[in-house]
Amino acid sequence: MNTLISIPSNKIDLLRFKKVPVEELIELYSKYNSPDLLGVIVEKNKKLVYKIANQFKSPSSEISDVLQIAYTGLLVAINRFDVKLNNKFSTFAYYCIKGEIQHYIRDNKLIKIPRWLWKLNSIFNDFVTKFESKNQRYPTKEEISVGMNVSVSSIDEILKAREAAFYQYSLDNDSDGISTN
């Protein structure tokens, strides 16, 4: 039964400063639904949240926004974590936090580029890198098309998406001293 209880502050302080594994705290939280306990869990994972949020610093989003989304991801992880599976919480939380931030970034781009196109772009990058190192030149669209087993029009879409993403970055980049934000 998930009832909201108040854990005495001296007990919370003990949990906060004692080396209690986060997994045990989450188990207690899922049992008692204590806001104080949730605060302790969030505090104990603050470094993880900051570390992941800093990986997503960009000219187009404020770090405070990214941190807020990262904490949302942490709360998602806390509520979805299953202690019975005997996994490490930090590993589970890492992917939840990272996923929330990626979702936020994807949804807040000025130019929406479909996920399938980004996946093709990744394959494109791998192919071009390997081709260049092997042949000492940049491949033609036709060579890329054959190497990736996709149509030339798909290659054109990838190139347009890359250009759009670069153009957005260029507008957000403050290198010329003129801010567009």
Q: Look up the CATH number of domain 16-107.
A: 1.20.120.1810
DSSP state of 85: G
- Quick one: angle between helices 152-172 and 115-135, nearest 10? 100
- Domain residue ranges of the chain, discontinuous segments joined by +: 16-107, 115-172
Each residue of 11-56: pLDDT tens digit? 666 666 577 889 988 998 988 888 888 988 999 999 999 999 988 8
For the whole prediction, is pTM greater than 0.85? no
For 6, the token pair is: 């108040």
Token digits for 25? 């705290």
- Measured CA to CA in angstroms, residue 108 lies from 122, 155, 171 at distances of 21, 25, 15
Residue 30 burial class via C-beta count within 10 angstroms: exposed 0-12, middle 13-18, buried 19 and up = middle
> Which pLDDT tens digit goes with each residue over 59-107?
666 788 889 999 999 999 999 999 999 999 999 999 999 999 888 877 7
